[in-house]
Amino acid sequence: MEMLLMGACLSMFGLAVMCLAFGAATRDEKPADAAGLEKPMDTVKVAAPERFFVEGPLPVPVHARVPIEALLLQLENHVRLEQAAAESYMRAPNAALLHSRTMSTLVN
Amino acid sequence: MVQTDLLNGLAGEDGDRVLALGRRILLASGAELFHLGDEAECIYVIAQGRLRLTLPMQVRGQEQNVLVEERVPGQTVGWSALIPPYRFTLTATAPLETEVVALPREALRKHFAAYPEAGYVVSLNLASVIGERLQLFQAMWVREVQRMVEMRSA
């Protein structure tokens, strides 16, 4: 009988510890402004990009390495291709032609 | 006589009378015909060569004139001269030796007051040129927005 009561007590104690641990793990952070402190964390915008699993400096985008003259030529080429695409859409207006893929190196 | 979209549908002598209001301008390669923001007194019909219409854009922190359109012989540029506030909204440059006919707004207005039929035809042509360009740029704009949407949802 004593053994049974002791087992029940230990079980209840274990259950209480688990409940406390679970409550602590799942409890929401109380807003700091409720205590008259700073703004809550979730309203602060993170300016820096996420860099998980990236070692060393971020890779430089392809367009940033291109000389400015080449970039301007790419822009011109892009405008000409887009104009040609828009003109072919105007000859036979339909959704497929409107959103046809471009070969422009500026966006591919 | 210069064949131009502006005078489509006008009889030969009527078209000649309109073109006679203008003066021919020869642009050397690289010369600027008009600059963004300048007062627009004339519209221009391209007789020979080519014109690049550009808008300023910031590219790597520098202002660059980026091509928006190219116009070829027979086409009209500078219709800001007919639309208030009469200021050019683009810069026009000749990439090669180019000849244009400059038609002053005031001379056109007086001529069309005297020849209303010609004024009507030219107005329709102008509306057609402006309408086509509006549709063209609408399509180009929607294509860019579509790409932006795809990038954001990727």
Domain boundaries, chain A: 60-103
Residue B146: list chain A partners with CB under 8 A. Answer: 99
Flag whether pLDDT at A39 surpasses 80.
no
Rg (CA), chain B: 17
- pLDDT (mean) for A95-100: 91
Tell me which residue in A75, A82, A85 faces B66 most closely, judged by beta carbons.
A75
ipTM above 0.90, yes or no: no
* Degrees to nearest 5, angle at CA B122 with B119 and B127: 120
- pLDDT (mean) for A61-76: 81
Residue A89: list chain B partners with CB under 8 A. Answer: 139
Do B80 and B89 touch, CB atoms closer than 8 A?
A: yes
| pLDDT value, residue A38 | 47
| pLDDT value, residue B2 | 73
Spatial neighbors of B73 by CB under 8 A, at least 6 apart, are: B2, B3, B46, B47, B48, B49, B50
Domain residue limits at B148: 5-153
Q: Which CATH number is B30's domain given? A: 2.60.120.10
For the stretch A18-37, pLDDT in tens is 656 666 665 554 444 444 44
Report the C-alpha gap between A80 and B83 in whole angstroms.
Answer: 27
Is residue A72 within 8 angstroms of chain B, CB to CB? Answer: yes
- Confidence band (pLDDT; 50, 70, 90) for A50? low
| pLDDT value, residue B119 | 95
| pLDDT value, residue A37 | 45
Report the C-alpha gap between A42 and A51 in whole angstroms.
Answer: 19
How many domains would you assign to chain B? 1
What number of C-beta contacts closer than 8 Å exist between A and B? 48
Flag whether pLDDT at A48 surpasses 70.
no
Does the reported pTM lie above 0.80? no
| Higher-confidence position of B124 and A66 | B124
- Confidence band (pLDDT; 50, 70, 90) for A108? confident
How many angstroms away from the CA of A107 is the closest CA of chain B?
A: 9
Tell me which residue in A83, A98, A107 faces B142 most closely, judged by beta carbons.
A98
Listed residue (B42, B45, B51, B40) closest to B15, CA to CA: B45
| pLDDT value, residue A54 | 55
- Confidence band (pLDDT; 50, 70, 90) for A1? low
DSSP 3-state of B117 = helix
Low-confidence ranges of chain B (pLDDT < 70): 1
| pLDDT value, residue A107 | 83
